[in-house]
Chain A
Amino acid sequence: MTASPAAKRKPGKLTRRNTWIAYSFLAPNFLGFFCFTLIPVLFSVALAFLTWNGGSMSRITFAGFGNFATIFKNFNFAKTDLGITLRNTVYYTFFTVPLTIALALALALALNRAGRGAKALRAVFFFPYVSSIVAICMCWRFMMMKTGLINQALAVVGISVNASWTQDKNLAIWSIILVSMWRNAGYYMVMYLAGLQGVPAELYEAATMDGANGWQKFWKVTFPMLTPTTFFVSVMMVINCFKIYDMVAIMTEGGPGRATKMLVNYIYDMSFVSPKYGVASAVAMVLFAIVLTVTVIQFRAEKKWVNYM
C-alpha cells in the first residue's frame, strides 16, 4: 500500500468547514428532491409488492409478486393491456426518435448561419416547445379532422385521406408521432446548433483543400463531430418517448380501441381510475426496467460510434 501521506492526514478545520458549507448549499435542492422525488420513487418500488386499492394507508397489505402475476397472467401476452401498451410505446419510440433527430439536425444545419432571418426562424422553430401542450394538441386534433386543414392540404397534392387522423386505427399513432416531432424538433435543434458551434473551422478548411464536396463534408466532418450531441439527444429522447402520456390523453384518449394507449396511460388508468396502486406500480417497475435496459445498451454502444475529440 503506497497511500500518500497527505491522504492519511486528518482533514483540517478549513476543509471540514468548506465541506459543511458545500452541504448547506446543496441542502435546499436535496431536500426538495428527497421529499418530492426520492421518497415517492421508493414508495412506488415498495407498492409494486403491496396491495393498495385506495383509502387510508392502514389498508395496505402485502402482495408479494401477485401484482406482477396479474399483469403477466395471460399466455396470450400480445393481447393483454401490458402487451398492447408496450407494443404501442415501442412503435412510437422506434419511429419518433430517428425522425425527430433527422428533422432537428436538418433544421440546425439549415439555420446555422448568421443573419436576422436565421435567428428569427430559430425562434419560430423553438416556439412549439415552449407552447402549452394542451393548446398544441387541441389545434392539431382539429387540423387533423376529416375535413381539416391537413387533409385539405394533402388533397391538393393528390393524396386523399378520408378519415380523421386521431380516429383512424392506423393513422392515430402517426398523428401523435408527427405532432411530437413538430413539437420537439426545435428543442433538439438548439442542441445541435450548440454542437455545430464546437466543430473547428480548420477541419472544413482541410476538407476543402482535399477537394471534398458538401455531402462528403457532412458525412466525414460534421456528422462525426456531432456524435456526442446525437448520443445525448438520443438517450434523452428514448427516455422521454417511453414516458409519453399527455399527447395521447389529449389527442386520442388511447383510441381507437387501445390503438394508441401507451404504458403510462395504462399506469394512469390502473392507479387513478381503477384504483389499484400496487398493480400500477408493478407496471411502472416494468417501464423502469425497460428504460434502464435501453439506456444501458445505449451507453455500452457509445464507444463504438461516438467521437470525442
Chain B
Amino acid sequence: MKKWLAMLLCAVLVCSLFSVAQATEKKVLRVATWDATTTAYLDATKAAFEASHPDITIEYVDLPAGTEYIVKLTAMLTAGDTVDVFDVKEVANMPALLEMGAMENLDAYIQASGFATDKYAGMDKCYTDAAGSYYALPFRNDFWLLYYNKDLFDKAGVAYPTNDMTWDQYADLARKMTSGTEGVDKVYGTHYHTWRSAVANWAVCDGVNTLIDGEYSDLKYFYDLAQKLEDEGVCRTYNDLKASGLNYRGGFEAGDIAMLPMGTWLISTLIADRDKGEVKFNEFGLATIPHAEGVPVGSTFGSPTGAAINVNSAQKDLAWEFISWRSGAEGAKAHASVGTIPAYVSEDVAEVVAAVKGFPGDAGSKAALLPTAVYLEVPVDPHASEIRTIVDEETNNIMSRAVTVDEGIANMNERAAEVLGE
C-alpha cells in the first residue's frame, strides 16, 4: 500500500514538473507598474498585446501607487532587479532615472525599427536626455478636466458647467450647488483633492509660469480661492481630508460632490466602477478646466506616462517590442477602448474614447476631450524633484493653515532660490 502511494506521489510530481516546463515555453515579459489589479487600461493593453503576440505573456509587477512608486522603483533598480520594462510614472522622475543610468538608450531600436516619434505632440521630448537620445516612450497622456455629477445639477435645476468658464464663474457655480446640512443631506459644490496639483497647479495653464521658475506668487489666486471656498463650506476642508484620508474617487462616487477637478485617468475608473455598481449616482459629465482671466479657454495641464527598458533586462528586444507596440497606434487603440487617453495623437482617439460604453453622451463632454493647450504639470528639469518637494510641503503648510498664503509663498520663493542657486 505504502509503495503504491509513494509511486503515485512520484508520478504526480513528475507530471507537475512537466507541466511547469511546458508553461515556461511562453516568454514572460515583466513590467513594473502600479495599481495593476484595478487599472482598466493595463488589462486592456495586456489582452490586446498577448492576442497579437501569442508567444509572449505580460506579467505586471505591482508597485505601490502615489509618491511611493518611484521610491520602490528606485530601490529595485539600484538593487539590480531584472524587471524588463518599467513605467515612468511622472516625467519629473526622468532626471533622477537618467542620473541612475537605469534606462536603456532607445536610439538604436528606434532607428532599426523606423519607429515614428512625431506622433506625440512633443511629449516624447520629455523622455530624452540633454543630447536628445531617447530613454523612454510615452504611452498615456493625461490632462486635467472638470468632472461633474449630472444628477445633482438636474436636481438643483442648475445648468451644467460649460467649457468656457473662468475660475470665478466656476466658484459661483460651486456656491450655487452647495446645500444641505453636514451629516444629513449636505451637497458640496466642488472638491479639491489634497494634492498640490489639484489645489494650485492651475497657474501653469497660462503657458508662461512653471512650477520650477522659482517664483510662486502666481499660485496665490488659487490658494486664496480654495481657502475661501473651504471657509464658505462649499468644499470639504483640506485638514479634514488629510486627517480622514478620504480618497477623491470614493468621495466623488458617493454622490455628494457636484464638481471635481481631476485628471483624465478617472474617466475609465468611473466607467468601470459604475459597471460594478460602486457609483452612487447615474451620470457624470465632463467640462474643460476653468481658465484664469487672460488665459485662453481650454488650456489645461497634464503629464504623460512613459515606459523604459531596464538596462538589466535579459530580453531587451522583447521589451522594445512591447513598449513600441504600447506607444504606437495599436496600443493607443487598446488604451482608448477603456476610456484612457493615449499619448499617441490621432484624430480618432477622442472619437474612440467618447464612444466607450458609459462615456457621457453630451457634446460638451466630448468636446472637453480636446483641450486647446496642455502644459506640463512639472517640467522636466534636474531640480524638478527637489522643487516639487518644496512646493508640496509649503502647499501642505498653507492649506492646513499653519502659515498664511503669503508666508507660504515667501517660503517657496526662498527655499526654491536655495535649490536653484546651487
Chain A: residues with CB nearer than 8 A to chain B? 53-56, 59, 74, 79, 141-142, 144-146, 163-164, 166-169, 254-259, 269, 272-275
Contacts and interface: CB of A to CB of B under 8 A. Distances in A.
A273 B243 contact: no
A259 B402 contact: yes
**Chain A binding surface SS class:** loop
A256 B400 contact: yes
B240 A164 contact: yes
Nearest to B103: A55
**Chain B binding surface SS class:** helix
B386 interface: yes
Contact of A56 (B70, B80, B245): B80
Contacts of B102: 54-55
B396 A55 contact: no
B394 A257 contact: yes
B243 A166 contact: yes
Contacts of B74: 54, 272, 275
Contact of B386 (A141, A146, A274): A274
Contact of A169 (B75, B78, B402): B402
B239 A167 contact: yes
18 contacts: A53-B99, A55-B101, A164-B243, A166-B243, A167-B242, A254-B393, A255-B400, A256-B397, A256-B402, A257-B396, A257-B397, A257-B400, A257-B403, A259-B402, A269-B389, A274-B385, A275-B96, A275-B100
Contacts, number: 92
A291 B77 CA distance: 32
A178 to B, nearest CB: 16
A261 to B, nearest CB: 8
Contacts of A56: 78, 80, 101
Contacts of B77: 54-55
B242 to A, nearest CB: 6
A273 B239 contact: no
Interface in B385-419: 385-386, 389, 393-394, 396-397, 400-403, 408, 411, 414, 418
Contacts of A142: 243-244
Contact of A59 (B100, B242, B244, B403): B100
Nearest to B78: A54
Given A255-B393, A256-B397, A259-B402, A146 B385 contact: no
Contacts of A53: 96, 99-100
